[in-house]
Amino acid sequence: MSRPLEALGRLALESDEDSWMMTYLDMMTLLLVVTMAMLAITTRLHSTAPPSPPAPLPFMGQGLLPHGLALLGRPPVVKPVVATAAAAEPPPPAPPAPPAPPGPDEMAKNLGLDALGKDIEVDISQKTVSFRLSSELLFESGQADLSPAGITALKPLLPVLEKNSQPILVQGHTDAEKIQSTRFPSNWELSSARAASVVRYLQANGVDGQRLRAVGFGDTHPLAGNESAEGRAKNRRVEVVLEAVANPPPQ
């Protein structure tokens, strides 16, 4: 009796071992099927093309755009319009040219230079009018005070200077001979003092002092060489310089 029981026990044991193996195989098969199904779904999702946009509907009839352009058709070509302000507005007129300055003859006529006499030498350029007087006529030798003859020589110049309002520069000049005195240590002081004497005379006789300036040049602006007595006499002078543009004040 014991042998059949032992055989039955072995059969039951073998049956249990086979049952476990079958369960394991079933689970592996199920897992493989699920994996294959997921791979198939993923591949299908990635391979599916996106839906194409719907075709535009044909437009029939007139629209609201100019020239009957279709709203869904080809966009119209718009040409840019460039505004040209220069073409719309005429250029401004050119400013008038300034009047030409008067020539020497016209200036001499306007200033009344004919009444100056022979003692005053006149030099007219495009920018200045220079009235030149000899120092021997205006001053004693080595002095800076106007002599009676010098005052007489300057009087005809007063109405000429009063006809305009331009600045006046009085220049004093000497020759190259050295001077040494208590009052004038050099030609610089002598030429400056002589120019100042003429300025004081002009102002005292009606010329506006705001127009007047005095400067001494010594022997730095000679008109001739200092080797001869004639050249030195020509260099000793006083010049009253007036701007060229003559604008007579209203009467």
Number of domains in the chain: 1
Residue 40, domain member (yes or no): no
For residue 245, the 8-state DSSP code is: -
pLDDT at 70 over 70: no
Residue 145, domain member (yes or no): yes
Residue 135, domain member (yes or no): yes
Residue 148, domain member (yes or no): yes
172-189 pLDDT, tens digit per residue, is 999 999 988 889 999 999
**Percent of the chain whose pLDDT exceeds 90:** 42
Q: Is the Cβ–Cβ distance between 169 and 117 less than 8 Å?
A: no
Write out the two tokens for 48.
């599916």
Confidence of residue 62 (pLDDT cuts 50, 70, 90): low
Which domain does 117 fall in, by range?
107-166+178-243
Residue 151, domain member (yes or no): yes
Residue 147, domain member (yes or no): yes
SS3 126: coil
Residue 202, domain member (yes or no): yes
Indicate which CATH number applies to the domain containing 202. 3.30.1330.60
**Burial profile 210-248: b = 16 or more Cβ within 10 angstroms, e = fewer:** ebbebebbbbeebeeeeeeeeebebbbbbbbbbbbebee
Residue 224, domain member (yes or no): yes
